[in-house]
Structure 1
């Protein structure tokens, strides 16, 4: 069975202030959350892999049931790259997120491959990353489009125009980044 890998960051479920902070075009946080679930499930199949590059939700303790409900509705085998809003006050993965059915243990960064390309995944942008001098790509979140990529790196946050609140494939996210590369 063919499996597709997808990437996304900064869903910020249950975070009403994100609507104005990042100019997200939704009338309410409920509309925002439902739009992300709908767009996610319109492209991701149950067997696909989705790397979420952090900041899944906000007010985790206050919204634990809703977060669990939203998470369970999202298709795919989900991997978490831990973001700043995903941890408790001591820097540990928040228990609400730790209790979710992730496909693998959540990590602060992951090195993987997609279509034969080396890829470094982290919540925060790096200026150098493993393999950056040898054609490795880097996907990150956190900056909500305010920090341009450098070289073969880019923000994959939901609020970027070409991401449009939908998990995207490596091919979709690297259009323009691969021009002139030796393959």
Structure 2
């Protein structure tokens, strides 16, 4: 049976992430190879991987194309900020990759069994069906935001993602302990200066 996986913010080729110490690898080759190894350890050729943006940050199109070819599975992309040359213009290097379907801009809603899942590179405070039990997976925040209701970061930086694509079931395990995202409201008269 084919599986569906999710991951975000691989940043293949992004040497400054390693140089600045934001990712604990000796160099960019070690980081890229670790992600490829982890990816291929869990993903089979016919599995589907939703990548929620920032696939690669590099000017070496040949290297990125080779990395893409080495990754198992059918790959679909929700575009992230680093996947564009400028607003509305996808980097040719990213557009040229053999995605399973045309890369999507901003939001995609998919069904996982009987559950609704909203995918976006960016974290959303509300999303379609959020009051009816739907889920929201995002990237971009690099672990900088806490889970919110049924919403969570699926970036490679998260300890339970650990540079490896993860299934829906694995990713929602920790959401049962997340604080429910209900905001208290106050009138202006109740707010003290």
> CA 1:175 to 1:118, structure 2 compared with 1: closer, same or farther past 3 Å?
same
TM-score normalised by length of structure 2: 0.88
User: Which of 106, 112, 117 is the aligned partner of 1:114?
Assistant: 112
2:48 and 2:87 map into 1 onto residues whose CA distance is: 29
2:29 corresponds to which residue? 30
User: Which of 145, 169, 172 is the aligned partner of 1:171?
Assistant: 169
Aligned: 1:15 with 2:14: yes
Deviations 1:81-140 (A, max 9, x none): 000000012431111111111111111221001132100000000000011110000000
Alpha-carbon offset, residue 65 of structure 1? 0.3
Residues 50-59 or 89-98, more deviating: 89-98
1:46 corresponds to which residue? 45
Q: Secondary structure at the match of 2:175?
A: coil
Is this contact kept in 2: 1:9–1:157, CA < 8 A? yes
Show structure 1 runs of 5+ residues with no match.
none
Residues 5-14 or 85-94, more deviating: 85-94
Aligned: 1:158 with 2:178: no
Q: Secondary structure at the match of 2:152?
A: strand
TM-score normalised by length of structure 1: 0.92
Show structure 2 runs of 5+ residues with no match.
178-193
Greater Rg, structure 1 or structure 2? 2
1:22 and 1:47 map into 2 onto residues whose CA distance is: 35
1:21 and 1:81 map into 2 onto residues whose CA distance is: 26
Root-mean-square deviation (Å)? 1.7
1:128 corresponds to which residue? 126
Q: Secondary structure at the match of 2:170?
A: helix
User: Which of 66, 70, 74 is the aligned partner of 2:71?
Assistant: 74
Deviations 1:123-165 (A, max 9, x none): 0000000111100000000000001121100000001100000
1:118 and 1:91 map into 2 onto residues whose CA distance is: 27
Is this contact kept in 2: 1:22–1:159, CA < 8 A? no
1:91 corresponds to which residue? 88
1:124 and 1:10 map into 2 onto residues whose CA distance is: 11
